[in-house]
Amino acid sequence: MGVEGRSRSSDRTNEGRTVRERGLRVTAFVAGAGLLLTAVGCGSMPDHGEVREVKASPQVDTQVRVYSVPPLPGAEPGAIVDGFMEAMTSDDPGFDTARKYLTKNASKKWNPGRTTTILGGAGPNPGETTSGQNKTTRTFKITGEQIAELDEQSAYEPLSGAYGQTLRLVKEKGPDKKDGVEWRIDTPPPGLVLGESDFQRIFRSVNKYYFASATEDPGRRWLVADPVYVRKRTDPQTRLDPVAQAVKAVMDGPSTWLKPVVISRFPTKAALKNGTKALPIGDHNSLKVPLNPEAAAITQKTCQDMAAQLLFTLQDLTSSTRVDQVEMLRPDDSSLCLLNKNEAGVYAPSSISGSPSHQYFLNADRHLVRLGITSESGFAEPVPGAIGELGVRVRSAGISRDESAAAAVSDDGLELYVAPIASGGNKRATVYRSAAGAKEPLSPPSWDGRGDLWVADRDQRRPRVMRIVDGKGTAQEVRVDGLGAGTVDALRVSADGVRIALLITEKKGSKTVTTVKIGRVERRDDAGRQTVEVVGLRLAAPQMEEVTAMSWAGQSRLVVVGRESGGVQQMRYVRTDGSSSAAGLLPGANQVTVVAATDTESAAVLAQSTDDGIVRLPPGANWKTLVREGSMPVYPG
């Protein structure tokens, strides 16, 4: 095996072969002897020496490029399986080396891009079976704990449970008549199978962007983030560099989960110009995108929209070199349209919610107050208007994204008020009243970027989610498909209004657990009346057994407080597709019960700590107490 770049942790077998610590554990049961051997490597399996297990390295060097080696002549079945598993983690063009471990027929049919299965713990564990073996056939079973899968669109889907895939090996004559008969795999897995550390080394998450398919204002352009994974290096199959991979991903259309609520401006058959494999960033941080004839047959307005989708997608991918403008090219390389970052401001996802001016919370008297967005401590002023200035005691509050209105849940938890944020204002309106008892209060309210107000009614006799159009209309019940017997304890709506994060409490056997799930907000016109439904619920933090609090913290990111099974409380960033990374873990704060963040990722995270009051975490810093006596911190949204 060849490794290019900085050296990684390594060990040596008794045969002197270098073993890369990638979490691959090969377990072979020798028929009749009951002997368990554990080894790792690219060559033949050792038949003597001590038995050792190579652990998965906790941190993988992302600069390492891995090249696998082809099977050695006369390699035993265990070495063939081991070499194939190793070759699936390599950067070999076309996975050519991996295919050399397969039979000729299997090599032709195997499609590594069909799916990528990610296994946790020690990664894939290929163990030889003990039955049905003969001189011309061997079977191995790849096992492990499945944590996720990438589909053909490279969309991430969390999964759980045991993984098992049987590999059958047969003896096959080589391509040269002089070659001997060699063991080869005849039934490979349908795609790639990777350990979690290899997955994180090879892939990175990127937000691609599409337009919300339903808006009350046709003149507004609601860009919605759709997270997918692309390779950090050239894709072995398509030979596309990372930028071209991201552009292709946008052109291929939204993920299956998001597709019902967004649209793409790219025509159905849009693609890069034939033969385009790399998209280098040129002078003035400009990217030129050559289109095929189907993509180029468009209007200037559509071209500008397409360029906007690409410009914001590439902001996530090219952190070291920013893309400041995108130029779309016809097949003859003439310019079709050009969009720069200044012109793209009207498309910016942040334009829906804007940048907050203040951070809000309840003081010791449970009155709604605020501080400047950068204030780390000091005197908090009452929020102007009938809720803050008049000193109304409230249980929780939500601020509209343009900071023009405040919503608050009454001190008894049963009424939802709305009042303008304006000095001298003395009017507030009750927009919703719960029939629940005092021990079942309304959840903290949340505003989307469309100006609609959302709240969860936790009445155990009739729990439901309510939406108040423009924060002043008649409250409408929103059906949550797939909720079952669960209860929504809290909710936060995304700025674009097409996704919602829900804290859901439900019974699982003898235990009651609270998880965070993401749902799509689907809007339909029914006889002139718009109906809204939340569908497609999926876990956003599958690694956490119990979730305490959550908030949006970016276009496709949440900050979540909870604990893993058997663990202590932690705070971490998770993506809306359910994926996360070790880098997403935030410094610990004591006994956090509430967390607040914004779509502006450079803004500080706020939290309510039982021990320290309201605390503040700016990027790259440590927690600092904002106020000792206070509760329920919140940003607009």
* Nearest-angstrom CA–CA distance, 594 and 606: 8
- Candidates 442, 452, 449, 463; CA nearest to 530 is 452
Burial class (CB in 10 A: 0-12, 13-18, 19+), 583: exposed
Q: Identify the structural domains of the chain with CATH numbers, from first to last.
A: 2-201 (3.10.450), 234-348 (no CATH), 351-634 (2.120.10.30)
Structure confidence by residue, pLDDT tens digits, 577-633: 999 887 789 998 889 999 999 988 788 999 999 989 999 999 889 999 999 999 999
Q: Which amino acid is at 338?
A: L
3-state SS class at 305: helix
Contact 325, 340 (CB under 8 A): yes
pLDDT in the model for residue 64: 61
What is the distance, to the nearest Å, from the Cα of residue 64 to the centroid of all Cα atoms in its chain? Answer: 24
Give 196's DSSP letter.
H
3-state SS class at 316: helix
Residue 128: pLDDT band by 50, 70, 90 thresholds? confident
pLDDT in the model for residue 178: 63
* Nearest-angstrom CA–CA distance, 98 and 162: 24
Q: Which residue has better confidence, 32 or 574?
A: 574
pLDDT in the model for residue 226: 97
Please give the model's pTM, rounded to 2 decimal places. Answer: 0.86
Over residues 455-461, mean pLDDT: 94
Over residues 240-247, mean pLDDT: 96
* Nearest-angstrom CA–CA distance, 239 and 115: 17
Over residues 21-33, mean pLDDT: 34
Joined tokens for residue 241: 């560099």
Q: 55-64, 67-76, 115-124: which range is least confident on average?
A: 55-64
Most confidently predicted of 340-349, 430-439, 491-500: 491-500
For 555-562, which contacts have Cβ atoms below 8 Å and span 24 or more sequence positions? 555/207, 555/225, 555/349, 555/599, 556/207, 556/225, 556/226, 556/227, 557/601, 558/501, 558/516, 559/586, 559/595, 559/597, 559/605, 560/516, 560/595, 561/592, 561/593, 561/595, 561/607, 562/516
Structure confidence by residue, pLDDT tens digits, 509-524: 888 899 999 999 999 8
* Nearest-angstrom CA–CA distance, 148 and 543: 11
Give the ranges where 349-502 is alpha helix by DSSP (H). 350-353
Burial class (CB in 10 A: 0-12, 13-18, 19+), 51: exposed
pLDDT at 228 over 80: yes
Averaged confidence pLDDT in the chain: 86
Contact 258, 210 (CB under 8 A): yes
pLDDT at 443 over 50: yes
Residue 307: pLDDT band by 50, 70, 90 thresholds? very high
Close Cβ partners of 327 (under 8 Å, ≥ 6 residues apart): 286, 287, 288, 289, 307, 335, 336, 337, 338, 339
* Nearest-angstrom CA–CA distance, 549 and 562: 7
The beta strand positions in 545-585, using DSSP E, are: 546-552, 557-563, 569-575
- Candidates 126, 112, 197; CA nearest to 165 is 126
pLDDT in the model for residue 558: 96
Contact 248, 299 (CB under 8 A): no
Taking residue 386's Cβ as centre, other Cβ atoms within 10 Å add up to 22
H or E segment and range at residue 600: none
pLDDT in the model for residue 635: 97
* Nearest-angstrom CA–CA distance, 577 and 255: 11
* Nearest-angstrom CA–CA distance, 21 and 57: 6
Residue 188: pLDDT band by 50, 70, 90 thresholds? very high
Joined tokens for residue 31: 């028929």
What is the distance, to the nearest Å, from the Cα of residue 189 to the centroid of all Cα atoms in its chain? Answer: 25
pLDDT in the model for residue 47: 40
* Nearest-angstrom CA–CA distance, 407 and 411: 13
Give 15's DSSP letter.
T
* Nearest-angstrom CA–CA distance, 577 and 590: 28
H or E segment and range at residue 315: helix 300-317
pLDDT in the model for residue 620: 86
pLDDT at 42 over 50: no
pLDDT at 256 over 90: yes
- Candidates 375, 388, 418, 382; CA nearest to 400 is 418
pLDDT at 503 over 60: yes
* Nearest-angstrom CA–CA distance, 592 and 317: 33
Hunting for tokens 């203040």 — which residue is that?
Answer: 358
Q: Which residues pair with 572 in a beta bridge?
A: 560, 585
Over residues 267-274, mean pLDDT: 95
Joined tokens for residue 67: 């090249």
